[in-house]
Amino acid sequence: MKLPLAHKGLPALMFLAAGLLTAPAVAANTAEDEVLRPAQSLEGNFLSAYVAGSARDTEAATIFFREAIQEDSRNQELLERAFVAFLANGSMTEAVRAAERLSVQDPSNNLAQFALAVRSLKGQKYADARTRLSKGTRGRQADLTATLLTAWTYAGSKDGKQALATIDKLKNERAFDQFREYHAALIADVVGNPAEAEKRFKAAYEGERNTLQVVDAYGRFLAKRGRKDEALKIYKAFDEAAPRHPIVRAAMKALEEDKPLMPLVTSAQDGAAELLYGLGVVGNTQGDELTAIIYLRLGLDLKGDHPLALVTLGDVYERLKQYDKANAIFERIPKDSPVRPSADISIGHNYELMGRGDDAISHLETLMKERPDDVEVVMALGNVQRSRKKFAEAAETYDKAIKLIGQPERGHWILYFYRGTSYERAKQWDKAEADLKKALELVPEGLPAGRAQVMNYLAYSWVDQNMNIDEAFKMLTKAVELAPRDGMIIDSLGWAYYRMGRYDDAARELEKAVELKPGDPTINDHLGDAYWKVGRKLEAKFQWDHAKNSDPEHEELVKILKKIDNGLDEEPKPAAAENAPPPQPEVPKQNGG
């Protein structure tokens, strides 16, 4: 089966915020143009807020909690939940007001004290921020965050010695060496201690050379001191490991043109925002959306135009499928930021995911007019066209992108793959086959998932057309080795067995595929065919019925309905079955299978 043509250690929140805004998972179904109105009772508002919170719909939760606490202002648990909702929604005035009330009722409330400390730091009330951070009943992880933020309050007070002494209290926490050294370097630079800053930057960089913020901050530090060649060296090393990152490319271009690079952090507020951004990244990486949102909102309260914090927050909302909120965040990224072009592309893609396909195409076509040589924009338009099943148009768009790149490099395999799949769906097989072979030639050996994807699409296409069966079988066997838990690739292998007339082997592989990816109409349809051929006709009709109810494409639905009524037409056993390779041993199931 062809793969879908898709687009594209720090602790998590050290406080108990997650417990204040969670419930059994419920999807947010609010229509984009629907106006949310408070319920008529306290209970109704609380329940609505609770459900909205479980779906991470922070805007809806804020509306309902706001109404609920007006009706029951003395309920501390309600106030705590409302506070978290306000904070996660970026309603900072309401969040601070709720935090002040909570800190009076319960001075040990960690999150309330932390939010108030951030607000004090923003207002340059550094002593008050430190007092707030010292309160509460924290564990080890909370102390780590509070210690780092406390160090930045000392930097704001121009007490560099105490700031570094505070951050060095974490020296026994080896898991956080790089994070500690990175912020120590930023603090030393802000307080005017370049020798200490360089020592700390070197330590952070040597600990992990592929962390974007460390590389960028260190490069800017070196550039400010006139050491352009050294700065270029570390940027180029990163570019080799993670090619074409816009921030790195923009910095390299500025250095090569002898343009100045401003320091990444110039104040205690910037430094604290950088800290909160880093914690938000960890929450996002760990799949803890509420943690990520709260840290990122606090960081953006300190520095509202932090581009990477905005990108990360937008990414969180994308993962939550709240595409309108993601787009609103992406629109806040400064127009001159190197990451704004990719955010603009994400906005177009999100329009498509919101069911606003015409807006997506219009948005991306406008970007193409503004940036006609931007391969990423052209590719994004092709992706939307392909998603909308405008395959011939998508192929033409990808063709423009391929012409823009000139001599293809390894990283361009995806363009040939996308153009090839578009040609195949547009029934231009000769062009499709050439592109898929080119994609396979370009895709790096070090990208096994990509190689498996290309092998699968090419080989399945051969199998589906009853051509090159032996070569397709070998290719699919290799693809399964590269991606042994991919149900769609295993489906392709099972279908190759079917085409060779080895129906028992086909049924065995297709059963594995169904187990790995239940509910896929193509896999269920294939398994039904294999069952019919081995005489398991009742089970065959069950699988076809399952395929019918799994939203297949119309053309396939017609075929499935015919098979449900009449079964399969008998056909001669393929000659390829006589000379086919022997059955492959079953791959042992992995954990979780």
Per-residue pLDDT tens digits for 271-284 = 999 999 999 998 88
CA–chain centroid gap for 509, Å, is 31
* Architecture per CATH, 39-106: Alpha Horseshoe (1.25)
Mean pLDDT of 519-535: 96
- Give the tens place of pLDDT for each residue, 456-500: 999 999 998 989 999 999 999 999 999 999 999 999 999 999 999
Least-confidence region, from 54-58, 96-100, 327-331: 54-58
Residue 147 is predicted with a pLDDT of 92
| pLDDT value at 21 more than 60 | no
Q: What is the DSSP letter of 15?
A: S
The pLDDT of residue 10: 34
Per-residue exposure over 58-70, b if at least 16 CB sit within 10 Å of its own CB, e if not: bbbbbbbbbbbbe
Q: pLDDT band at 72, cuts 50/70/90?
A: low
Residue ranges per structural domain of the chain: 39-106, 462-568
Work out the pLDDT band at 32, boundaries 50, 70, 90.
Answer: very low
Cα torsion 164, 167, 169, 174: sign: negative
pLDDT tens readout for residues 104-115: 988 888 899 999
Question: Which pLDDT score, from 0 to 100, does residue 303 have?
Answer: 97
Which of these, 362, 423, 415, 414, lies nearest to 390 by C-alpha position? 423
**pLDDT single digits (tens) 400-430:** 999 999 899 888 999 999 999 999 999 999 9
User: Cβ of 97: how many Cβ atoms within 10 Å?
Assistant: 13
Q: How far apart are CA 291 and CA 268, in angstroms?
A: 23
Core vs surface per residue 387-422: b (16+ CB within 10 A) or e: beebbebbbebbbebbeeeeeeeeebbbbbbbbbbb
CATH architecture, domain 462-568: Alpha Horseshoe (1.25)
Which of 72, 52, 79, 76 lies closest to 63 in space, CA to CA?
52
pLDDT at 267 over 90: yes
DSSP state of 389: T
Tokens of 245: 């990152």
Quick one: average pLDDT of 212-222?
97
- The pLDDT, as a whole number, for residue 78 is 82
- Angle among Cα 416, 417, 419 to the nearest 5 degrees reads 65
Q: Average pLDDT over the chain, rounded to whole?
A: 86
The answer to whether the 39-106 and 462-568 domains have the same CATH topology is yes
Cα–Cα distance for residue pair 64/82, rounded to 1 Å: 9
Between 270 and 49, the higher pLDDT residue: 270
Q: What confidence tier does 6 reach under pLDDT thresholds 50, 70, 90?
A: very low
Crossing angle of helices 246-256/228-241, nearest 10°? Answer: 150
Does position 344 have pLDDT exceeding 50, yes or no?
yes
At residue 39, the pLDDT reads 53
